Amino acid sequence: MSTLAVRPIEEYTAKDYKSELKPIWCPGCGDFGVVQAIYRALANIGRPPHEIAFISGIGCSSRIPGYTTAYGFNTVHGRALPIAQGIKLANPDLLVLGAGGDGDGFSIGGGHVAHVIRRNIDMTYIVMDNQIYGLTKGQLSPTSRPGLQTVSSAHGSMESPVNPLLYVLGYGAQFVAQGTPADMNGLAKIIEEGIRFPGFAFINVQSPCVTYGQEDQQLKAQKAMMQTLESMKHDPGNRLAAMDLAQQYGEKLYTGVFYRNPTPGPTFDGLARKRQQAMKDQVKSRADVLNVFKLVK
């Protein structure tokens, strides 16, 4: 029998991921619920905080890394994804999370979304979608509805909104989900599923802005109108059905997993690690040959 002591498995609670920094969001902001759901999901995953890296851009939602005990990096506006990818490639063993808003992710940072999806980096990207620029006092965002009057659209928006769900499905994302802090248990479950998925996972969270958002988008209204995809018997393995449901973004509030690839493809970071090991093996084999030549001489 081995005399080595068996190391006990550590168990974590939501509090273990909560930092001492107090959130400064407006009272009633949906992001309070999002960060609580993240705590719960991480506790269920069970990875210690020092093995987690949380990367964000700029905006109300991008403050989230500071409210966790994980390694956090508050980057520049729209650049969370490329920096998160670099961190994952530098240390593939880290659990990497990205956070941002709809403006951060689909305006200035929109060009990065397609590339993180096609590379299939093993990370989870949580977008808090409130259809407005809240931090900069209520301008139009990429997901704002047509006709919306704001400080930057006095006569109403004349632009068609971005559909985040349809965008990422069209780019080929292998895990696409949507949640709301109006359903905390459901949101925590979705985030946990996204983290556990072996590849890039996109989670759109309808997180209302209480200061500049519309009344029919607040938590009480969301709770009344939301429909879970599970209750609708939606098959998350059916990509075409997921795209059909995603087209109703802005009209219906569907929550749950829209699409989960039943046979996930290889991740970029996984392929990079294999390539690195192959190069090391090649160098070692060359060294062995040189040593043989030295012995012959």
| pLDDT tens digits along 24-70 | 999 999 999 999 999 999 999 999 999 999 999 988 889 999 999 99
Position 157 pLDDT exceeds 80 = yes
pLDDT greater than 60 at residue 6: no
* pLDDT for the residue 295: 61
Extract the tokens encoding 100: 């941002």
Task: Taking residues 162-180, report their average pLDDT.
Answer: 97
If asked whether residues 245 and 297 sit together in one domain, one would say no
Where does the chain show beta strands of DSSP type E? 52-56, 71-74, 95-101, 124-129, 175-179, 201-206, 226-228, 253-260
Look at 94-108, 141-155, 252-266 and tell me which has the smallest mean pLDDT. 141-155
> Is residue 17 within 8 Å of 49, Cβ to Cβ?
yes
Tell me which of 8-12, 93-97, 174-178, 260-264 is least confident: 8-12
On average, the pLDDT of the chain sits at 90
**Residue 6 domain-assigned (yes or no):** no
| Per-residue pLDDT at 193 exceeds 60 | yes
Provide the percentage of residues in the chain whose pLDDT is more than 70. Answer: 93
Q: Who contacts 213 (Cβ-Cβ below 8 Å, separation ≥6)? A: 130, 131, 132, 134
Are 227 and 193 within one domain? yes
Residue 4 above 80 pLDDT?
no
pLDDT at 282: 79
Query: Domain check: are 96 and 132 in the same one?
Result: yes
Total domains, the chain: 2
Q: Is the pLDDT of residue 7 over 70?
A: no
Q: Which of 48-52, 76-80, 274-278 has the highest mean pLDDT?
A: 48-52
pLDDT of residue 242: 98
71 lies in a domain?
yes
What ranges in 50-144 are assigned the alpha helix state H?
80-90, 102-103, 110-119
pLDDT number for residue 66: 94
163 and 277 housed in the same domain: no
Enumerate helices (H) and strands (E) in the chain, giving the number of each. 9, 8
Q: What is the band of 297 on the pLDDT scale with cuts at 50, 70, 90?
A: low
Using CA atoms, how far apart are residues 229 and 165, in angstroms rounded to an integer?
14
Beta carbons of 62 and 34 less than 8 angstroms apart: no
Element (H, E) at 270: helix 268-296
- The per-residue pLDDT for 215 is 82
85 and 73, same domain (yes or no): yes
Please check whether residues 196 and 241 belong to one and the same domain.
yes
Q: Please, what is the Cα angle at 79 between 60 and 272, to 5 degrees?
A: 130
Q: Which of 116-120, 215-219, 273-277 has the highest mean pLDDT?
A: 116-120
Residues 100-124, mean pLDDT to the nearest whole number: 93
Q: Is residue 154 part of a domain?
A: yes
Judge whether 2 lies within some domain. Answer: no
* Model confidence band, residue 156 (pLDDT cutoffs 50, 70, 90): confident
Residues 166 and 83 in one domain: yes
Which residues share a beta bridge with 3?
A: none
What is the mean predicted confidence (pLDDT) over 197-201?
A: 97
194: in domain: yes
**What b/e sequence results for 189-202 when a residue is b if at least 16 CB atoms lie within 10 Å of its CB, and e otherwise?**
bbbbbbbebebbbb
Q: What is the mean pLDDT of the segment spanning 178-199?
A: 97
Residues 285 and 199 in one domain: no
* Nearest of 162, 135, 144, 182 to residue 32 by alpha carbon: 182
Phi, psi of 152 (to 5 degrees): -105, 5
Within this chain, do residues 249 and 271 fall inside the same structural domain, yes or no? no
Domain co-membership, 183 together with 295: no
Residue 107's nearest CA partner among 66, 72, 152, 142 is: 142
Residue 9 lies in a domain: no
In a domain, 29, yes or no: yes
In sequence order, which residues have a C-beta less than 8 Å from that of residue 63 and are 6 or more positions away? 23, 24, 25, 31, 56, 74
What Rg, from alpha-carbon coordinates, does the chain have?
Answer: 22
Q: Is residue 217 part of a domain?
A: yes
Of 209, 186, 202, 66, residue with least CA distance to 129 = 209
Contact 182, 275 (CB under 8 A): no
Q: Which single residue is written with the structure tokens 């983290």?
A: 195
Per-residue pLDDT band for 134 (boundaries 50, 70, 90) equals: confident
CATH number at residue 70: 3.40.50.970
Q: Say yes or no to pLDDT of 150 above 80.
A: no
Report the distance separating Cα 71 and Cα 53, nearest Å: 5
Whether residues 222 and 237 fall in one domain: yes
**What is the mean predicted confidence (pLDDT) over 207-219?**
87
Same-domain check for residues 227 and 103 = yes
Residue 165 has pLDDT above 80, yes or no: yes
Provide the residue range defining the domain that includes 36. Answer: 14-263
In the predicted structure, residue 2 carries a pLDDT above the cut 60: no
Distance set, CA 110 to CA 78, 128, 136, 161, 167 (Å) = 7, 14, 19, 13, 10
pLDDT at position 8, please? 46
